[in-house]
A = this chain, B = another copy of it.
């Protein structure tokens, strides 16, 4: 599958048929059996086009093509990908059906593996052995498809919390697949977690998983409940998937109120408790508004998985990957609303459905079905 931003202001999604290259000595050929449609994939796939506006066209060889127009503002931010047919799909899982001559590649032959590294919305993918994680006996490709982006992000949040000297954390859009994994991982690790959701039924989902602190931002009592949860947990770091609006600011304000309860003297510079909000998602693309009534000991920053993993180093990453592989049926289990073929993934009606990115409505591509 390819996503192309054309110079005339059109986004085109298409399927192309290309020969599978011979693997090099350290490479393997993976028959891709399953690959999830993550928000991070949809960003690359749709550029800034409206998913519901995609219209079917006729492609070469009877392969599907869909197109939508891009606004001039959107085009300005896309200059560096003009007229490049970009392969899509960050992760997935499948079976190693051929391997290069090297020992590491040969060791994977016949194995079911999870993969990371792009272009996974393909039927076959040649990859370096290091991009493959062998799965335990009995774990299927569908179970292993969402092994990296969400699970490693959840573990990366806990790891970041520890490395930066915090002892409990906050997560927003907490009912997502990722959020549910984080609830389970925090329970396993005995880390206190404050979950922020946007609907009452999402709170119930998380409580059923064992979440102790769930605050519903649509409730009139939200700020009071958040302050109490922060005071109880001493959480001073938050990971925010939403980004826009006032939620990051509300979290910092509530952290400051919780921190100032422990102060015995007035300081007009606020508490000395350092409060961090990391924005890692873009569910709301509107501006972030900070009402700076939380002193001077705070930061709002961007957070991305890849730079975190680079900083953490190979040994840590290896440990985290192995943990995920072993817990794919429990802590890191994903659920999908629907399995779709590559052709269905380019059907305008199906695109409109998965393009909504509704919580609990994640799709899985099964390229050989």
Contacts and interface: CB of A to CB of B under 8 A. Distances in A.
A357 B282 CA distance: 39
Interface string A273-302: 000000110100101111111011111111
A336 B301 CA distance: 38
Given A291-B287, A292-B243, A298 B297 contact: no
A302 B297 contact: yes
Given A80-B263, A80-B266, A288-B289, A300 B297 contact: no
A44 B282 contact: no
A43 B43 CA distance: 45
A315 to B, nearest CB: 22
Contacts of A302: 292, 295-299
Interface string A172-200: 00000000000000000000000000000
Interface string A211-234: 000000000000000000000000
Given A266-B84, A269-B304, A249 B297 contact: no
A319 interface: no
A81 interface: yes
A303 B292 CA distance: 13
B307 A272 contact: yes
Contact of A298 (B86, B292, B293, B301): B301
A77 B100 CA distance: 67
A369 interface: no
Nearest to A243: B292
Contacts of A18: none
Contacts of A84: 266
A289 to B, nearest CB: 5
A268 interface: yes
B304 A268 contact: no
B265 A292 contact: no
B303 A300 contact: no
A267 to B, nearest CB: 8
Given A287-B289, A290-B288, A290-B290, A43 B301 contact: no
A83 B322 CA distance: 60
Nearest to A78: B266
Closest 9 CB pairs of A and B: A296-B302, A299-B301, A80-B266, A81-B266, A288-B290, A296-B304, A287-B289, A287-B291, A298-B302
16 contacts: A43-B268, A44-B268, A78-B266, A243-B292, A249-B287, A285-B292, A287-B289, A288-B289, A289-B290, A290-B290, A296-B302, A296-B304, A297-B304, A299-B300, A299-B302, A301-B301
